[in-house]
């Protein structure tokens, strides 16, 4: 029981990290129906920027998080304006290749500027060995609960931005029907730019949350990005709430479910955590085969 | 002086030329109809006005040249376009659709205006929190018109508003257009295949064939024209 609770919390907090990055993916997808392969790179670089502000410059960590996220938001705004907007939004291939390119450039620059060795990364929340609450004898750590809290704050923030602001309304209009959005006077370029800004801002915060648990290097987001793709696919690529639930489900599969199957189901002893990525891939494939719109995504119907 | 004037307008989609020098005028407060078969260039004419297709020639709205201007800027000059197939935002609620319609406005009468359109189209008011995608075709067309009117346009472009609707609903809708034109003075350019109804609503009309205007006149003249009767009125 103790172990189960610990793994449950671990699974939920891992899931929350996948969910944060998945939300960022979904924001870009909703705006452009484009899968942004640079999201991992943006989050990774964001974590390095937080590290620069908080550790190298000695600013308080939460200010480091904010500044790092702002820097990445400005960077993403530039990427959208200079590299993405000139291309026909209907033609996905060039833009997908560009997002790949941006991902690799960010990785190379991070390795070159910040070195290739692993760096430890602080937590926004108390993370000393004694910082936990006991639940039925299990140690539930604050740093784990903190991730879930950050996800909740981001979810509320995204919800408020999309539903209570004018730019949010324009964003929903563009993602629903781009041509009609133009016809009511929405400048779609600015709205898409805003999508990249939001995604990169929240993605950088996600990167900072992840880095504490994995340590910081130029590739630490690679694996997370796959889990986040799985989360977004499972929840529905155009559903913010779906991607959050998808993230938590993936986290739970990875942490309590998979070890339990390994321990208790005969014949599945091979299912070690090394295979978590394979499980995530199989899940992506399974969803695409069975329910391509995901659990909460919009089923696109051709209208006459 | 005319509110909208097109002179020698040509439009191309890639290599394909859809308009070959269209001349057309709409006076302030007038309802003008463009008749024509499928593929004649009716939709393209409206798209050219809104800067949604590669266009050359001259399009002038109230003294301002529109060719080369982007769509968002044209809308800000007072043009509202109800596209073919309604073009509502299916994932947004009815109210949000109307809110987006007022996107170019910054005054504080937007909510009062929404209520006004709910009075004019009570069926929309009953469905205000419903998603637009769940509305019937007629309700979607009402929503598309109300949304366009939310920008308080001086010029309303209607692209085949009768398409796919039941005859009773079409009649209802067209009498609303007449009412809007009368009450608000909104100038309208209507593209239609349903010539009978359109000529009842309009004061003047043009006939478009293969990207060129082949005939123009008052609604009365067009109704009595042999060619028009044979081709569009089924008489």
pLDDT digits (tens, 9 = 90+) for B10-47: 999 988 999 999 999 999 999 999 998 888 999 999 99
The residues of A whose Cβ lies within 8 A of any Cβ of B are 166, 169-170, 172-173, 175-177, 179-188, 298, 303-304
Q: Is residue B83 part of a domain?
A: no
Residue B83 pLDDT > 70: yes
Partner-chain residue, chosen from B83, B91, B151, that has the shortest CB–CB distance to A185 = B151
Q: Domain boundary at B133, B152, B171, which?
A: B152
CATH of the domain at B61: 3.40.50.300
Query: Do B167 and B71 belong to one domain?
Result: yes
Report the C-alpha gap between A30 and A298 in whole angstroms: 11
Q: Domain boundary at B115, B136, B152, which?
A: B152
Q: Nearest-CA residue of chain A relative to B87? A: A180
Query: Do B173 and B221 belong to one domain?
Result: yes
Query: Do B71 and B160 belong to one domain?
Result: yes
Beta-carbon separation of A181 and B99 below 8 A: no
Q: Residue A138 pairs with which residues in a beta bridge?
A: A135
Per-residue pLDDT band at A303 (split at 50, 70, 90): very low
Q: Is residue B163 part of a domain?
A: yes
Beta-carbon separation of A181 and B100 below 8 A: yes
Q: Is residue B98 part of a domain?
A: yes
Q: Is residue B84 part of a domain?
A: no
Q: Is residue B99 part of a domain?
A: yes
Query: Do B72 and B160 belong to one domain?
Result: yes
Beta-carbon separation of A185 and B76 below 8 A: yes
Beta-carbon separation of B83 and A166 below 8 A: no
Partner-chain residue, chosen from B75, B85, B90, that has the shortest CB–CB distance to A183 = B75
List pLDDT tens digits, range A153-208.
999 999 999 999 999 999 999 999 999 999 999 999 999 999 999 999 999 999 99
Residue pair B188/B177 in contact (Cβ under 8 Å)? The answer is yes
Report the C-alpha gap between B201 and A270 in whole angstroms: 75
The overall average pLDDT reported for chain A is 92
**This prediction's pTM:** 0.91
Reported ipTM: the value is 0.91
Question: Averaged over A237-246, what is the pLDDT?
Answer: 93
Q: Cβ contacts of residue B29 below 8 Å, gap of 6+?
A: B181, B185, B187
Report the C-alpha gap between A124 and A64 in whole angstroms: 10
Residue A301 pLDDT > 60: no
Q: Nearest-CA residue of chain A relative to B91? A: A176
Query: Do B159 and B148 belong to one domain?
Result: no
SS3 B166: coil
Partner-chain residue, chosen from B87, B91, B101, that has the shortest CB–CB distance to A179 = B87
Q: B84 phi and psi, to 5 degrees?
A: -65, 140
Q: B134 phi and psi, to 5 degrees?
A: -90, 0
Q: Domain boundary at B120, B152, B184, which?
A: B152
Q: Cβ contacts of residue A257 below 8 Å, gap of 6+?
A: A11
Q: Is residue B213 part of a domain?
A: yes
> What residues make up the domain containing B138?
89-152
Query: Do B36 and B67 belong to one domain?
Result: yes
Residue of B192, B188, B204, B203 lying closest to B78 (CA atoms): B188
Q: With beta carbons under 8 A apart, name residues in chain B contacting A187.
A: 72
Query: Do B163 and B66 belong to one domain?
Result: yes
Q: Residue B212 pairs with which residues in a beta bridge?
A: B209
Q: With beta carbons under 8 A apart, name residues in chain A contacting B157.
A: none
Interface contact B92, partner A, CB < 8 A? yes
Q: Cβ contacts of residue B14 below 8 Å, gap of 6+?
A: none
- What is the least distance, in Å, from the CA of B85 to any CA of chain A? 7
List pLDDT tens digits, range A36-53.
999 999 999 999 999 999
List pLDDT tens digits, range B176-216.
999 999 999 999 999 998 888 899 999 999 999 999 999 99
Query: Do B98 and B58 belong to one domain?
Result: no
Residue pair B202/B26 in contact (Cβ under 8 Å)? The answer is no
Interface contact B91, partner A, CB < 8 A? yes
List pLDDT tens digits, range B63-78.
999 999 999 999 999 9
Report the C-alpha gap between A124 and A46 in whole angstroms: 15
Beta-carbon separation of B103 and A298 below 8 A: no
Residue of B160, B163, B195, B156 lying closest to B178 (CA atoms): B156
Q: Which residue has the tokens 């340590």?
A: A215
**Number of domains comprising chain B:** 2
Query: Do B67 and B167 belong to one domain?
Result: yes
Query: Do B166 and B138 belong to one domain?
Result: no
Q: Cβ contacts of residue B122 below 8 Å, gap of 6+?
A: none
Q: Is residue B187 part of a domain?
A: yes
Q: Is residue B17 part of a domain?
A: yes
- What is the least distance, in Å, from the CA of B220 to any CA of chain A? 33
Beta-carbon separation of A166 and B88 below 8 A: no
Query: Do B137 and B159 belong to one domain?
Result: no
Partner-chain residue, chosen from A177, A184, A188, that has the shortest CB–CB distance to B75 = A184
Query: Do B183 and B123 belong to one domain?
Result: no
Beta-carbon separation of B72 and A185 below 8 A: yes
Q: With beta carbons under 8 A apart, name residues in chain A contacting B164.
A: 304
């Amino acid at each position: 029981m103790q172990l189960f609770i610990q793994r449950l919390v671990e699974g939920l907090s891992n899931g929350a990290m996948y969910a944060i990055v998945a939300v960022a993916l979904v924001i870009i997808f909703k705006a452009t129906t484009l899968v942004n392969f640079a999201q991992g790179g943006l989050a990774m670089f964001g974590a390095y920027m937080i590290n620069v502000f908080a550790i190298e410059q000695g600013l308080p960590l939460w200010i480091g998080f904010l500044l790092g996220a702002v820097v990445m938001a400005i960077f993403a705004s530039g990427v959208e304006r200079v590299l993405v907007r000139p291309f026909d939004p209907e033609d996905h291939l060039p833009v997908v290749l560009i997002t790949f390119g941006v991902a690799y450039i960010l990785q190379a620059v991070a390795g070159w500027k910040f070195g290739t060795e692993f760096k430890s990364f602080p937590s926004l929340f108390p993370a000393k060995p004694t910082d936990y609450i006991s639940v039925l004898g299990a140690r539930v750590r604050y740093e784990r609960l903190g991730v879930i809290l950050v996800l909740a704050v981001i979810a509320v923030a995204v919800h408020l931005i999309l539903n209570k602001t004018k730019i949010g309304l324009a964003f929903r209009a563009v993602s629903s029907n781009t041509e009609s959005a133009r016809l009511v006077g929405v400048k779609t370029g600015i709205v898409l730019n805003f999508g990249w800004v939001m995604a990169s801002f929240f993605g950088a915060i996600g990167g900072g949350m992840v880095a504490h648990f994995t340590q910081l290097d130029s590739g630490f987001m690679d694996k997370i990005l796959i889990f986040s793709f799985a989360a977004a696919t499972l929840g529905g690529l155009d559903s913010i709430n779906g991607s959050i639930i998808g993230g938590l489900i993936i986290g739970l599969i990875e942490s309590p479910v998979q070890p339990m199957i390994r321990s208790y189901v005969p014949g599945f002893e091979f299912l070690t955590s090394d295979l978590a990525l394979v499980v995530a891939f199989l899940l992506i494939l399974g969803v695409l085969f069975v329910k391509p719109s995901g659990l909460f995504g919009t089923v696109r119907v051709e209208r006459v | 002086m005319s509110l909208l004037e097109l002179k020698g307008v040509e439009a191309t989609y890639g290599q394909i030329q859809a308009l070959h020098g269209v001349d057309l005028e709409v006076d302030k407060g007038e309802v003008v109809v463009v008749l024509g078969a499928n593929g004649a260039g009716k939709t393209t004419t409206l798209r050219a006005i809104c800067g949604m297709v590669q266009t050359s020639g001259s399009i002038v709205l109230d003294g301002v040249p529109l060719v080369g201007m982007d769509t968002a800027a044209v809308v800000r000059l007072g043009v509202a376009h109800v596209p073919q197939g309604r073009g509502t935002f299916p994932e947004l609620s009815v109210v949000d659709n109307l809110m987006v319609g007022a996107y170019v406005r910054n005054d504080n009468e937007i909510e009062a205006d929404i209520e006004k359109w709910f009075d004019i189209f009570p069926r929309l008011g009953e469905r205000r929190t419903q998603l637009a995608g769940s509305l019937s075709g007629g309700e979607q067309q009402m929503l598309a018109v109300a949304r366009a009117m939310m920008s308080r346009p001086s010029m309303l472009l209607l692209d085949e508003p009768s398409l796919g609707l039941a005859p009773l609903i079409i009649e209802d809708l067209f009498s609303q257009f007449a009412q809007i034109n009368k009450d608000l003075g909104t100038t309208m350019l209507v593209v239609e295949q349903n010539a009978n109804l359109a000529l009842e609503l309009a004061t003047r009309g043009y006939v478009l064939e293969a990207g060129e205007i082949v005939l123009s006149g008052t609604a009365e003249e067009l109704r009595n024209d042999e060619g028009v009767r044979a081709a569009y009125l089924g008489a």
